[in-house]
Structure 1
């Protein structure tokens, strides 16, 4: 959507807080775009109570804004934010996106993305609890499995034992 069209839709104001200065387009993938001020885009520090504006923005009929508000409320660690998010009535197309589980990315100690079946190398000696051995630094672990609900863990076979390994102690080879 063109900036001009967004400005008209938003009434020349941030679609979260209503501020008029420094407005720019922000993405609400995969549903569309919205218009946000620098504070709401995260370009500057704001006091925690700034985000109370989301309680009002949650009532919008615009799908992109609804999705962005729902996502932002999910990042806030305040009781009012949890309550506001749980109380939102989402449009069907927004609800479909919200119901999709978040993709879990597994990254090694260098930040490289790991995939099922990759080979990794241990970067530290690891004492394997319950197996009475130490997996030595430099050990290659082939055909790893990703722990579906924990981005900090992978599974692999070391000395014929299936073990869970923290991703912070491996690098992709």
Structure 2
């Protein structure tokens, strides 16, 4: 039996998180071995929001109040991770999971000590992104000004400081404060 068919049968043909029956597909819960026990059956809205955390709508996930009690470990793991991402510690603390399931759920959470780089608008920056400078900046030691509107492609993240990124402007590698940048 295929993974999709097995998940459809297990879920009764509805999203295992919100109960919708529109645009259903399998979503593997990392780390996964590809089995149905480590995947969930979700609608297109839940799937797209889980895969793009920047677009998550907390109101859509009010359904987690029910799905967090699922007897299916993969559903409980996803519920735990989403509730943690929304800062709903009150609901996370109410959940009961076996130790191995809790370890699986914790393995997918972001590292709390990891640096988060954000531009002037609060958008999270990743290595390789393209940003635009929002203010004319004097570049020390070079004798030129990085003009407002200049695109800085393929940025690098400074390892010990979330307020700086590295990038090339006029062929020169420089450090730029993130408060003077906008992700493009």
TM-score > 0.5 by shorter chain: yes
Q: Cα–Cα, structure 1 residues 8 and 112, in superposed 2: closer, same or farther, change >3 Å? A: same
Equivalent residue pairs, number: 137
Match of 1:16 in 2: 17
Which structure 1 residue ranges, 5 or more long, are not aligned?
Answer: 114-123, 127-133, 139-143, 155-163
TM-score with structure 2 setting the length? 0.54
Q: Which runs of 4+ in 1 moved over 3 A?
A: 45-50, 97-101, 103-107, 134-138, 150-154, 164-170
* Distance in 1 between residues matched to 2:127 and 2:74, nearest whole Å: 31
Is residue 105 of structure 2 the alignment partner of residue 90 of structure 1? no
Which structure 2 residue ranges, 5 or more long, are not aligned?
Answer: 33-37, 50-54, 120-124, 129-136, 146-156, 166-174
Say which one has the larger Rg. 1
Q: Report how far residue 20 of structure 1 moved.
A: 1.6
* Distance in 1 between residues matched to 2:58 and 2:162, nearest whole Å: 28
Is residue 45 of structure 2 the alignment partner of residue 39 of structure 1? yes
Q: How does 1:13-162 map to 2 (within 5 A)?
A: 13-31=14-32, 32-42=38-48, 48-76=58-86, 81-100=88-107, 102-103=110-111, 104=114, 111-112=126-127, 125=138, 146-147=159-160, 151-152=162-163
TM-score with structure 1 setting the length? 0.57
* Distance in 2 between residues matched to 1:153 and 1:87, nearest whole Å: 39
**SS state at 1:5 partner:** helix
Give deviations 1:41-64, integer Å, cap 9, x for gaps: 236x99754322101111112222
* Distance in 1 between residues matched to 2:138 and 2:27, nearest whole Å: 45
